[in-house]
C-alpha cells in the first residue's frame, strides 16, 4: 500500500490536488463497511469533504473561464469543456459554471462553503438566484438567503424563495414596484383572465399576503393528492380545487395567522403565517374580522388546551395551536409539514406526560414511532417560544432499536449536531 506525506502549509496547490486524487482513488477501491450506521456517518463526512472540494474546483473553473483558456484547446465555451472533458450533464455544467462566475460576488457564501459551513446545494441555489442582480441587490440577496439557511430552511425552500429574490429584496427595502401588467400595484390583488381560441382561459395575477392566506387556507387542503393513483401534478390539483370552490362544492376556509394581542388592538408588530411569511398588522386585523375566519388564542383562554391526565388524545383546538408552532416535524432536519404530522406527548403518555399544550409537539409518523422505540435516543430542548426540538445523535452513535450503553456514550451532543 502506498503512503502519502504532505505538509499542508508548504505543499503547492498541484501537490495537494495530486494527494487528494490519490486518496480518492484508494477510497473508491475500498469495500464499504458492513455497519449501516458507520456508512451513514462516513457518507456525511465524505459528502462534507466533497462540498469543500467543489469549492476549490469552483475557483479553478473561474480562472479558466475568465482567461478563455478553453478556446486554445478547441472548445467553444467553458460549459462545452465541462460537458465534454469532464463528462457532465448540461444542468450540472451550467450549475458549476454559475458557481464559478458568482463566487467573487458572494464573499460570505464562498467563505462558508470553503470552510465546510455551507453545503454545495445551498451555495449553488444562492449563486443561481443572483445571476441577474446588480452588485447592491446581490449583496442584499446573499444576506437574505443565508439568513434562511441559518434558520434551517431546506435547500428546496431556499430555492423557491431564490426564484423570487427580486421581490424579496423589494419587500424588505419597501421599494417594490408592480410589473407593467399589474396596474393596481402590490397593495391590491389583481387577476387577468384571457380567453383562448379553444374556449378555455389563461389566468395570471398576484395576491397580496392577506388574500394569499385565504388562497392557501382554502385550496391548500383540497389540492393534496387524492391517493396513490392520483398522478396529477400540483398545478392540475390546484386547478381542480379552485373549480370545486367556484362550483360551491367547498365552503370551509381555514386560515391561521399568528400575532400578539397588541397587533389585534392597534399595534404595529407584524403577524405571520405558520410557514413564517410576515403579514402586516393592518392585514392581520382585517383577517381577524373577516367572516369565516376565527381567532386562535395561544393560552388557557376559552380553548381547552390543558387536559392533564383526563384525556389521552389532543383536541382539535390543541392541534391548531401546535400547527402554529411547528411548520415541520419537531425533529431537527426533518421537513415533513406540521399539518401532516402526529401529536406527540413529549415525555411519553405511558410515562405520565399530561395532554397539556406545553407538553405536546408535532412529529412525523416515522419519528413518532422511532421516539417510542428509542426513549433515550433523542435530545429534547425547548425554546423560549414553547417549541420543542428533538435532535438525533450522530449516525455512529445509534444502534438499531436501542441507544449505546452508558459506558459507550460520548459527551452530550452539541447543538449543531
Asked whether the predicted pLDDT for residue 334 surpasses 80, the reply is: yes
Task: Encode pLDDT of 101-131 as tens digits.
Answer: 999 999 999 999 999 999 999 999 999 888 8
Task: Encode pLDDT of 37-77 as tens digits.
Answer: 899 999 999 999 999 999 999 999 999 999 988 888 888 89
d(CA 95, CA 275): 28
d(CA 122, CA 341): 26
Task: Confirm if 185 and 199 have CB atoms less than 8 A apart.
Answer: no
Task: Encode pLDDT of 376-400 as tens digits.
Answer: 778 889 888 788 999 887 655 544 3
Q: What is the pLDDT of residue 28?
A: 92
**Does pTM top 0.85 for this prediction?**
no
Task: Encode pLDDT of 6-19 as tens digits.
Answer: 788 888 999 999 99
Q: Per mean pLDDT, which of 137-151, 168-182, 261-275, 280-294 is the most reliable?
A: 137-151
Say what the alpha-carbon torsion angle 398, 403, 405, 411 is, to the nearest 10 degrees: 70
Can you tell me whether residue 416 is helix, strand or coil? coil
Q: What is the pLDDT of residue 386?
A: 80
d(CA 357, CA 300): 9
| 199 vs 24, more confident | 24
Amino acid at each position: 500500500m502506498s503512503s502519502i506525506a504532505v505538509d499542508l502549509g508548504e505543499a503547492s496547490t498541484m501537490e495537494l490536488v495530486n494527494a487528494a486524487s490519490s486518496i480518492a482513488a484508494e477510497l473508491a477501491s475500498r469495500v464499504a463497511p458492513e455497519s449501516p450506521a458507520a456508512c451513514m456517518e462516513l457518507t456525511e463526512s465524505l459528502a462534507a469533504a466533497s462540498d469543500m472540494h467543489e469549492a476549490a474546483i469552483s475557483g479553478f473553473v473561474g480562472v479558466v473561464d475568465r482567461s478563455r483558456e478553453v478556446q486554445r484547446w478547441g472548445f467553444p465555451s467553458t460549459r462545452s469543456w465541462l460537458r465534454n472533458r469532464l463528462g457532465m450533464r448540461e444542468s450540472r455544467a451550467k450549475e458549476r459554471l454559475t458557481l464559478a462566475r458568482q463566487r467573487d460576488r458572494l464573499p460570505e457564501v464562498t467563505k462558508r462553503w470553503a470552510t465546510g459551513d455551507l453545503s454545495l446545494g445551498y451555495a449553488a441555489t444562492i449563486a443561481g438566484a443572483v445571476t441577474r442582480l446588480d452588485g447592491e441587490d446581490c449583496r442584499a440577496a446573499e444576506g437574505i438567503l443565508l439568513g434562511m439557511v441559518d434558520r434551517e430552511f431546506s435547500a428546496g425552500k431556499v430555492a423557491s424563495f431564490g426564484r423570487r429574490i427580486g421581490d424579496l429584496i423589494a419587500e424588505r427595502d419597501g421599494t417594490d414596484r408592480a410589473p407593467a401588467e399589474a396596474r393596481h400595484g402590490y397593495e391590491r390583488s389583481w387577476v387577468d383572465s384571457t380567453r383562448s381560441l379553444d374556449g378555455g382561459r389563461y389566468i395570471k395575477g398576484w395576491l397580496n399576503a392577506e388574500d394569499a392566506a385565504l388562497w392557501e387556507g382554502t385550496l391548500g387542503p383540497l389540492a393534496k393528492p387524492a391517493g396513490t393513483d392520483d398522478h396529477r401534478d400540483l398545478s392540475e390539483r390546484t386547478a381542480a380545487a379552485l373549480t370545486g370552490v367556484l362550483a360551491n362544492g367547498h365552503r370551509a376556509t381555514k386560515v391561521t395567522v399568528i400575532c400578539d394581542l397588541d397587533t389585534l388592538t392597534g399595534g404595529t408588530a407584524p403577524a405571520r403565517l405558520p410557514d413564517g411569511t410576515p403579514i402586516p398588522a393592518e392585514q392581520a386585523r382585517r383577517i381577524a374580522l373577516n367572516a369565516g375566519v376565527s381567532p386562535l388564542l395561544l393560552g388557557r383562554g376559552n380553548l381547552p388546551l390543558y387536559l392533564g391526565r383526563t384525556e389521552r388524545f389532543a383536541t382539535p383546538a390543541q392541534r391548531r395551536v401546535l400547527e402554529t408552532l411547528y411548520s415541520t416535524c419537531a425533529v431537527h432536519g426533518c421537513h415533513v409539514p406540521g399539518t401532516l404530522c402526529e401529536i406527540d406527548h413529549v415525555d411519553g403518555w405511558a410515562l405520565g406526560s399530561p395532554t397539556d399544550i406545553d407538553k405536546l409537539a408535532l412529529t412525523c409518523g416515522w419519528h413518532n414511532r422511532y421516539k417510542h422505540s428509542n426513549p433515550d435516543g433523542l435530545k429534547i430542548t425547548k425554546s423560549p417560544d414553547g417549541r420543542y426540538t428533538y435532535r438525533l445523535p450522530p449516525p455512529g452513535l445509534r444502534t438499531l432499536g436501542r441507544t449505546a450503553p452508558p459506558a459507550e456514550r460520548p459527551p452530550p451532543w452539541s447543538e449543531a449536531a
